[in-house]
């Protein structure tokens, strides 16, 4: 289990790559060859992540005694007493000697519980700093959830690195692009293995600043800088919530340690309900900004201003899933805070479901292919948050996993289309590209089917689990969430069909001759498309696998990734697979595709409705203007706040700051004058002049001796000799 304890190496590698590229890239590697460093680093990261993932599965399959939480076998009230013995001794669990203890642990825990509760591997390296008796530690926290994200981030980032060698070739800031790609990856990897909430905050902000840099990569154009600033500032709004939430958590539990916080909550559910509610609401604000949830999702479509591979990285693997990951990591906080187990609607589920719905709605009214995908991401992230809100932890992480692959494939596909067709993202200038770009077309369709949730692609399985989770819930179902989820399933299929129609079918409406992208771009597309097909296999429900005798492989993500060591204490339950629910979800997605197909391909339905009907036009306008949210923020909120602040700031600037600066300047001038007059002229120059004058006058005095007459010298010589002789005689 060496890799799990030394997981810090994984974020360290891209961090080193960042330093190497930025500081030595131009001189020693060559500015146009720095991708070699980045790709090498990411390949290493991928390998190490794979090793870590493998070792984690080994830890779950063959747990050592110290990796398992000891449970007393009595009755069915499991979880109330399992955490008593390990609240303090985390940080030193080494699992090197697992070979000897396998049989013991299997024998000991085969009875009362379906699978043993595996503790995460926590390595604390040192105290970062210590203040007033509060210790700030640095360490890594590796469990199934971490290695799941490690694999996602490493895979997507590696493919994006490879894809970018062609996509941003010849860019004037090629070197900086790769440097920050590395830093972005390092930040996200650091974030996912944070051992305490301080590290979570650090990673969170690092990811934010990297996305700021990359979104504004082409900063010569104003809209790009605006988008970068918007992303950054919107995230700052949420970061206030993050800080406050973390402070509330610390105030409640007096510790920053994630393991300790989760354990304290799961061993004593029901305590601190109010504090947890406040913390969960604050953290929800942070999630809303980072993961693009309503009402702070507006930065996300604008972030499309960055290079397309960056969009793929941000929207599939790194930035936006940070929020979802944070909820999953601190799930006991949210579970208890929002009473997910007992309610039938709560803030998180509602925000998630609502976001999914409005994101899907907005995707219909966009002409920019990347913006459609961006709103699709908003919508899918809403799905994940909703899943977490209804208690379907595994479904959310499973959807995060599958979504990463097909959404990255879609973004890279959009980039490929743009690369081939005159660098436009406007679907009105595309059309009919399926003949010219067969590889891009096929991968795009596969990923769209996965996103729409068509059997047997990856999205079908994860979406089905979310819908099922909403239907069953925990103690109560979440009917409103189920309605939202079903509506979004229909809409997702429909807007993706629309995108395919406008981009790849019909007549070509652009100019120039489109062409297929080179292999370095299509191969990553095919890899991602392949994952979009098979990623669902990682968490297949049991009944699917029973007929072919592989039921042992069912629910792998649930088995490996779910932190049941905490969640069991909360009493989290898993719904039984339902064929009806799966068929309903599939039917909805298919009907979405069929309706759109009829509308575009067969010209059926109400064409020109927006021109003829006033209400339809109004509705379309609302969608086109993104529910006027940007207007609300910019014109109403920002302006009302901005004007008085600007006026006050101006007054402050003129009267206080300027005066202070002027006073400082005048004082400095006076001091300078005084120094010049007294110190410089008086003391320093005076002493120098005095020395010179002294030398001059002494030389003048001694000059008279140098008469040049030999006899004078002789007089002095003999006089001196006589004097010395007299002294000699007298003294001796």
Partner 1 sequence: MLLNQFLILGAALFAVGVYGVLARRNGVMVLMSIELMLNAVNINLVVFGVQHGVVSGQVFALFVIAVAAAEVGVGLAIVLLLYRNRTSIDVEDFDLMRG
Which residues are near partner 1 by CB under 8 A? 703, 705-711, 714-715, 718
Residue 709 beta carbon to partner 1: minimum distance, rounded to whole angstroms: 5
Please state at what angle helix 438-452 crosses helix 579-600, rounded to 10 degrees: 130
Find out whether 525 and 412 touch, Cβ atoms under 8 Å: yes
Can you tell me which residue has the tokens 């990682």?
Answer: 538
Cα 724 from chain centre: 94
Nearest to partner 1 of 694, 719 (CB atom): 719
* Backbone conformation region of residue 143, classed left if phi is above 0, alpha if psi is from -120 to 50, else beta: beta
| Residues 6+ away with beta carbon under 8 Å from 75 | none
Nearer to partner 1, 580 or 706 (CB): 706
Of 646 and 723, nearer to partner 1 (C-beta) is 723
CB-nearer residue toward partner 1: 638 or 721: 721
List phi, psi (to 5°) of 368.
-85, 120
Cβ at position 680, least distance to partner 1 in Å:
36
Task: Decide if 517 contacts 437 (C-beta within 8 A).
Answer: yes
Which of 100/702 has CB closer to partner 1? 702
Q: Please report how close the Cβ of residue 730 comes to partner 1 at its closest, in angstroms.
A: 18
Residue 370 near residue 315 (C-beta atoms within 8 A): no
Shortest Cβ 686–partner 1 spacing (Å): 29
Q: How far is the CB of 715 from partner 1 (least distance, A)?
A: 6
Q: How far is the CB of 693 from partner 1 (least distance, A)?
A: 19
Q: How far is the CB of 732 from partner 1 (least distance, A)?
A: 18
Report the C-alpha gap between 231 and 291 in whole angstroms.
11
The torsion defined by the Cα of 208, 209, 211 and 212, in degrees rounded to 10, comes to 120
- Residue whose token pair is 């990285």: 313
Instruction: Kindly give, in sequence order, each residue whose CB lies less than 8 Å from that of residue 20, ignoring residues fewer than 6 positions away.
Output: 29, 37
Task: Please list, in sequence order, all residues whose beta carbon lies within 8 angstroms of the beta carbon of residue 387, skipping any fewer than 6 positions away.
Answer: 352, 393, 395, 396, 399, 465, 466, 469, 470
Which residue matches tokens 């993706």? 496
Specify which residues 138 forms β-bridges with. Answer: 126
CB count within 10 Å of CB 354 equals 19
Helices (H) and strands (E) counted in the chain, each on its own, are 32, 2
Gap between the Cα atoms of 473 and 467, Å rounded: 10
Pick 662 or 707: Cβ nearer partner 1: 707
- Nearest-approach distance from CB 707 to partner 1, in angstroms: 6
3-state secondary structure of 181: helix
Residue placing its CB nearer to partner 1 in the complex, 75 or 708:
708
CA-CA distance, 80 to 267, in Å (whole number)?
Answer: 6
- Closest to partner 1 by CB, 114 vs 711, is 711
Closest to partner 1 by CB, 127 vs 707, is 707
CA angle, 716 then 720 then 726, to 5°: 150
Rounded to a whole number of angstroms, the minimum distance from the CB of residue 692 to partner 1 is 19
Cα dihedral 704, 705, 706, 708, rounded to 10, equals 100
> Which is closer to partner 1, CB of 103 or CB of 708?
708
Q: Is the CB of 602 or the CB of 709 nearer to partner 1?
A: 709
Smallest distance, partner 1 to C-beta of residue 701, A: 12
**In the bound complex, what is the minimum distance in angstroms from residue 698's beta carbon to partner 1?**
13
Closest C-alpha to 575, from 456, 488, 476: 476
Q: How far is the CB of 667 from partner 1 (least distance, A)?
A: 54
| Residue 132 C-alpha from the chain's centroid | 32
Burial of 382-397, coded b for 16+ CB within 10 Å and e otherwise, reads bbbbbbbbbbbbbbbb
Number of other CB atoms surrounding residue 730 within 10 Å: 7
For the bound state, the minimum distance from the C-beta of residue 700 to partner 1, rounded and expressed in Å, comes to 11
- Closest-CA residue to 540 (of 529, 549, 530, 551): 551
Which lies closer to partner 1 via its Cβ, residue 27 or residue 709? 709
- Least spacing, CB of residue 697 vs partner 1, in Å: 15
Instruction: Output the CA angle 476-556-575, nearest 5 degrees.
Output: 15
Q: How far is the CB of 699 from partner 1 (least distance, A)?
A: 9
Assigned token pair, 676: 């010049």
Tell me how far CA of residue 459 lies from CA of 404, 420, 524, 587, in angstroms: 10, 28, 19, 14
> Which residue, 580 or 711, is less far from partner 1 as judged by CB?
711
Nearest to partner 1 of 111, 701 (CB atom): 701
For residue 61, how many other CB atoms are within 10 A of its CB?
14
**Minimum CB distance to partner 1 smaller for 423 or for 709:** 709
Apex CA 390: angle with CA 385 and CA 395, to 5°? 65
Give dist(CA 724, CA 580) in Å, integer: 129
């Amino acid at each position: 289990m060496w890799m799990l304890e030394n997981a810090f190496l994984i974020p360290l590698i891209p961090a080193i790559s960042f330093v190497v590229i930025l500081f030595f890239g131009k001189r020693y590697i060559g500015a146009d060859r720095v991708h070699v460093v980045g790709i090498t680093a990411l390949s290493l990261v991928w390998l190490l992540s794979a090793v870590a993932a493998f070792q984690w599965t080994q830890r779950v399959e063959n747990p050592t005694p110290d990796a398992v939480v000891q449970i007393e076998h009595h009755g069915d009230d499991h979880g109330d007493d399992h955490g008593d013995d390990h609240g303090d001794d985390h940080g030193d669990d080494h699992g090197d000697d697992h070979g000897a203890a396998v049989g013991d642990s299997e024998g000991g825990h085969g009875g009362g519980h379906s699978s043993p509760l595996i503790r995460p591997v926590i390595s604390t390296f040192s105290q970062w700093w210590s203040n007033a008796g509060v210790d700030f530690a640095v360490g890594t926290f590796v469990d199934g959830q971490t290695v799941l994200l490690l694999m996602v981030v490493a895979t997507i980032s590696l493919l994006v690195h490879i894809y970018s060698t062609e996509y941003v070739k010849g860019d004037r800031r090629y070197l900086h692009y790769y440097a920050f790609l590395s830093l972005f990856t390092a930040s996200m990897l650091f974030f996912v293995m944070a051992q305490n909430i301080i590290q979570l905050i650090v990673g969170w902000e690092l990811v934010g600043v990297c996305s700021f840099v990359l979104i504004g990569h082409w900063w010569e154009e104003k809209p790009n800088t605006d988008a970068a600033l918007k992303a950054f500032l919107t995230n700052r709004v949420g970061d206030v919530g993050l800080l406050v939430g973390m402070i509330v958590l610390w105030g409640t539990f007096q510790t920053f340690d994630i393991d300790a916080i989760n354990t304290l909550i799961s061993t004593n559910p029901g305590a601190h309900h109010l504090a947890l509610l406040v913390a969960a609401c604050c953290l929800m604000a942070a999630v809303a900004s980072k993961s693009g949830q309503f009402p702070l999702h507006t930065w996300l479509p604008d972030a499309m201003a960055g290079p397309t591979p960056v969009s793929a990285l941000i929207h599939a693997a790194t930035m936006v899933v940070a929020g979802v990951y944070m909820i999953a990591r601190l799930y006991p906080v949210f579970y208890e805070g929002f009473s997910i187990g007992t309610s039938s609607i709560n803030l998180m589920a509602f925000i998630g479901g609502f976001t999914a719905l409005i994101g899907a709605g907005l995707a219909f009214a966009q002409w920019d292919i990347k913006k459609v995908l961006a709103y699709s991401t908003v919508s899918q992230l809403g799905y994940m948050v909703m899943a977490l809100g209804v208690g379907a932890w595994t479904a959310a992480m499973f959807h995060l996993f599958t979504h990463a692959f097909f959404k990255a494939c879609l973004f890279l596909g959009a980039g490929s289309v743009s690369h081939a067709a005159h660098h436009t993202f406007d679907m009105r200038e595309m059309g009919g590209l399926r003949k010219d770009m067969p590889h891009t077309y096929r991968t795009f369709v596969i990923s769209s089917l996965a996103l729409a949730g068509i059997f047997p692609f990856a999205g079908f399985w994860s979406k089905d689990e979310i819908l099922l989770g909403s239907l069953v819930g925990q103690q109560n179902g979440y009917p409103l969430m189920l309605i939202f989820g079903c509506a979004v399933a229909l809409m997702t299929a429909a807007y993706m069909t629309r995108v395919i129609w406008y981009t790849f079918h019909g007549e070509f409406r652009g100019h120039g001759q489109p062409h297929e992208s080179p292999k370095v771009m299509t191969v990553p597309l095919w890899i991602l498309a392949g994952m979009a097909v098979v990623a669902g296999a990682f968490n297949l429900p049991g009944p699917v696998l029973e007929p072919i005798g592989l039921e042992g492989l069912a629910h792998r993500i649930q088995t490996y990734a779910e932190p049941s060591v905490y969640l069991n204490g909360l009493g989290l339950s898993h719904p039984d697979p339902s064929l009806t629910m799966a068929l309903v979800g599939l039917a909805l997605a298919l009907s979405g595709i069929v309706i759109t197909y009829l509308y575009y391909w067969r010209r059926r339905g109400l064409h020109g409705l927006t021109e003829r009907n006033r209400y339809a036009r109004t509705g379309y306008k609302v969608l086109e203007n993104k529910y006027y949210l940007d207007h609300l923020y910019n014109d109403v909120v920002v302006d009302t706040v901005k004007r008085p602040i600007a006026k006050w700031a101006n007054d402050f600037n003129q009267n206080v700051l300027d005066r202070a600066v002027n006073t400082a300047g005048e004082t400095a001038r006076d001091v300078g004058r005084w120094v010049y007059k007294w110190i410089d002229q008086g003391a320093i120059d005076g002493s120098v002049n005095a020395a010179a004058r002294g030398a001059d006058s002494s030389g003048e005095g001694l000059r008279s001796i140098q008469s040049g007459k030999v006899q004078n010298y002789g007089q002095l010589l003999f006089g001196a000799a006589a004097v010395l002789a007299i002294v000699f005689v007298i003294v001796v």
